[in-house]
Amino acid sequence: MKYTKTSTLKNILDKKGAGEVLMKNGVPCLSCPMASLELEHLQIGQVCKMYDLPLDKILEELNEPSKKVKK
């Protein structure tokens, strides 16, 4: 599966190692208590825009076939 700006955090977090990629890049939603109620609807593109995070870099890391981020 290739992740895009419309991928939800729930779908992304299903991938082994994805949480570490998101945390490393400053995605704050993972520790927010309210986010757990919205993970199905929050899109990575929206989150990056809200918090001025590097969407292209995050997607590149999530989509790269490496040992760290593997399903």
Residue percentage of the chain with pLDDT more than 90: 68
Reply yes or no on whether the pLDDT at 36 is more than 90: no
**What pLDDT score was predicted for residue 29?**
73
CA 56 from chain center: how many Å? 11
**pLDDT at residue 12 greater than cutoff 60:** yes
Residue ranges of domains in the chain: 9-63
> Which is more confidently placed, 56 or 66?
56
Contacts of 11 (CB under 8 A, 6+ apart): 1, 3
Q: What is the pTM of this model?
A: 0.82
